[in-house]
DNA sequence: TACAATAAAGAGCGTGTGTTCGTTTTAATA
DNA sequence: TATTAAAACGAACACACGCTCTTTATTGTA
């Protein structure tokens, strides 16, 4: 016959959600899980058994995990990986020269972040800063960063990154009627470069461009 | 005079590191921190006081945090914020038309991720897809994404995003000797557009470009 | 060899905390 | 109004576990 009861009977699911939210916040704030009594205090439930009932419900719903007997042994069942990154990274290379493996770690200046939904895979891609105005006709300016997909062949007309002797350059690959190849600068001031497979090598195909100005 | 002692006295720092690593692994595996006794069992220390000493040392080193009295109340002091994003985001806009505030949420198609160290601030920046070939002379192609810094004035020669009547276009702003302004397409096939401030408005200045091809 | 400092062990106290059980209140239904 | 199930309360038990104190072994130094 006590009149000290003050709670209002609430919807189970709502209370459950409140408990869950409290746990999430608590862990976010403190780095470890709350105790049953702390949860009760936090959400306004006076009995540990009530809270405990909600916890069992949350376990059944597969929203949390508890280890029987252990203290504060509540862990969240995260949807996927919470640390999951939502961007892709491609290595930004320094100067590319012959001899060195192009993706050698010493050659990587930094990692360049790209939106994740841009390319199916950035596995074999890298970025490189373009020097010179030889490709202005292909809308590639001095200082631009080009994204290159690593491959050693290319079709006629594709803009490629090629190794000419000891230097890497961006040029358009042209295959003529006789099956001969040449590298063409998209700038009338530069002459075509015959492509002899001996000391020339295709490093990749340009598949993107980034231009950042102040 | 007991000969059951089996431990070898180890370097403090090494043991400390072992304890720390165990805690990190344990939390990674279980989602909550280990108890002092569990740590001891895990790293091969038989006394809780020994483990406790290492824990206090780790607290002093500011590598973990503990709450006095609470069980399993160990939290890692992450370097910075683990959830910290290391990229910037700019809104990618759909079609820009007159009347609507340019950065209205309904107008934002998605968020575009950029490397964080590219711009001092991306606060007033947005991205827009360019349609048409009117700016090929400025190395801006059909389908490119331009990054625009929001501002309503610009210098002569700057590439701007301008609202012409009901449509937004990218053009070069030219200020002639008499102080009159006009918008110039970087393509001989297009004529200059006189700039009358009545129905023309500068929305921003182009400060970057992204081109993604398959 | 003696001495001090360090690291670990071992025992133990106090209590925070999970878990259970029975009771009480509320809200819905007949 | 009586009945019943859901939801909360409250008390109690048992022990996991933080924390301290004292003792023992190891290592370095004079």
Distance CA(A199)–CA(A73), nearest Å, equals 64
CB A162 within 8 A of CB A197: no
Average pLDDT score over residue span A145-160: 93
- Tell me which residue of B169, B118, B112, B168 sits closest to B140, measured CA to CA: B169
Distance CA(B161)–CA(A191), nearest Å, equals 36
Distance CA(A22)–CA(A34), nearest Å, equals 9
Instruction: Please give the full DSSP string across B85-145, using - where no structure is assigned.
Output: --EEEEEEE---BSSS-TT-GGGEEEEEEEETTS-S--TTEEEEE--SSTTGGGT--TTPE
pLDDT in tens, B177-200: 887 888 999 999 999 988 876 667
CB B143 within 8 A of CB B203: no
Angle, alpha carbons B124-B126-B129 (nearest 5°): 160
- Which nucleotide's C1' is closest to A15 (Cα)? D7
Instruction: Please give the full DSSP string across B166-213, using - where no structure is assigned.
Output: TEEEEEEEEE-TTS-EEEE-SSTTS--EE--TTTEEEEEEEEEEEEE-
Of A residues 57-96, those with CB within 7 angstroms of nucleic strand C are: 66-74
DSSP one-letter code for A194 = E
**Looking at chain A, which residue has its C-alpha nearest residue B67?**
A30
Q: How distant is C1' of C7 from CA of B27, in Å?
A: 26
- Give pLDDT, residue A42: 92
Higher local confidence (pLDDT), B27 or A199 = B27
For residue A119, list chain B residues with Cβ-Cβ distance below 8 A: 212
Characterize the bridge pairing of strands B125-129 and B159-164.
Answer: unpaired
- Give pLDDT, residue A107: 76
Across the interface, of A32, A113, A213, the residue whose CB is closest to B32 is A32
- Give pLDDT, residue A101: 66
- Give pLDDT, residue A41: 93
Tokens 């929001």 sit on residue:
B150
CATH tag for B87-210 (out of 2.40.30.10, 2.40.110.10, 1.10.1030.10, 2.10.109.10): 2.10.109.10
- Give pLDDT, residue A81: 47
Average pLDDT score over residue span A138-153: 93
Distance CA(A162)–CA(A205), nearest Å, equals 9
Distance CA(B73)–CA(A35), nearest Å, equals 10
Instruction: Please give the full DSSP string across A96-125, using - where no structure is assigned.
Output: -BSSS-TT-GGGEEEEEEEETTS-S--TTE
Q: Give residue ranges of B with CB < 8 Å to any A CB.
A: 30-33, 35, 65, 67, 70-76, 82-83, 86-87, 112-116, 118-119, 136, 139-141, 147, 207-214
Per-residue burial over B44-59, b if 16 or more Cβ lie within 10 Å, else e, is ebeeeebbebbbebbe
- Give pLDDT, residue B81: 45
Distance CA(A141)–CA(A209), nearest Å, equals 10
Angle, alpha carbons A175-A181-A183 (nearest 5°): 100
Per-residue pLDDT of chain B (214 residues; tens, 9 = 90+): 333 334 466 677 888 999 999 999 999 889 999 999 999 999 999 999 999 999 999 999 899 999 999 999 999 987 544 455 678 889 998 766 666 666 666 778 888 888 888 899 999 999 999 998 999 999 999 999 999 999 988 999 999 999 887 788 899 999 888 878 889 999 999 999 888 766 678 999 999 999 998 7
Quick check: A118 and B72 CB within 8 A? no
- Give pLDDT, residue A55: 94
Nucleotides of C strand lying within 7 Å of any protein CB atom: 6-12, 15-22, 24-27
Instruction: Indicate the domain borders of chain B.
Output: 12-76, 87-210
- Give pLDDT, residue B197: 66
Measured in degrees and rounded to the nearest 5, phi and psi for residue A174 equal -120, 130
- Give pLDDT, residue A198: 67
A128 forms beta bridges with: A93, A146
CB A74 within 8 A of CB A63: no
pLDDT in tens, A13-63: 888 999 999 999 999 889 999 999 999 999 999 999 999 999 999 999 999
Average pLDDT score over residue span A72-89: 74
Tokens 């540990």 sit on residue:
A48
CATH of region B12-76 = 1.10.10.10
Distance CA(A45)–CA(A52), nearest Å, equals 11
Angle, alpha carbons B190-B196-B199 (nearest 5°): 95
């Amino acid at each position: 016959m006590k009149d000290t009861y003050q709670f209002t009977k609430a919807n189970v699911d709502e209370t459950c959600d409140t408990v869950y939210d409290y746990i999430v916040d608590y862990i976010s704030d403190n780095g470890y899980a709350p105790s049953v009594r702390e949860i009760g205090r936090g959400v306004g439930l006076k009995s540990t058994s009530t809270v405990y009932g909600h916890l069992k419900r949350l376990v059944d719903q597969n929203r949390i995990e508890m280890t029987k007997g252990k203290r504060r042994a509540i862990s969240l069942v995260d949807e996927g990986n919470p640390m999951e990154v939502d961007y892709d990274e491609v290595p930004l290379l320094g100067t590319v020269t012959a001899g060195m493996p192009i993706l050698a770690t010493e050659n990587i200046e930094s990692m360049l972040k790209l939106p994740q939904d841009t390319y199916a895979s950035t596995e074999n891609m890298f970025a490189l800063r373009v020097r010179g105005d030889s490709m202005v006709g292909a809308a590639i300016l001095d200082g631009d960063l080009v994204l290159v997909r690593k491959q050693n062949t290319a079709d006629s007309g594709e803009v490629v990154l090629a190794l000419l002797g000891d230097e890497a350059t961006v040029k358009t690959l042209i295959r003529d009627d006789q099956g001969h190849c040449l590298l063409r600068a998209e700038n009338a001031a530069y002459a075509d470069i015959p492509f002899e497979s001996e000391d020339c090598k295709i490093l990749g195909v340009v598949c993107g461009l980034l231009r950042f100005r102040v």
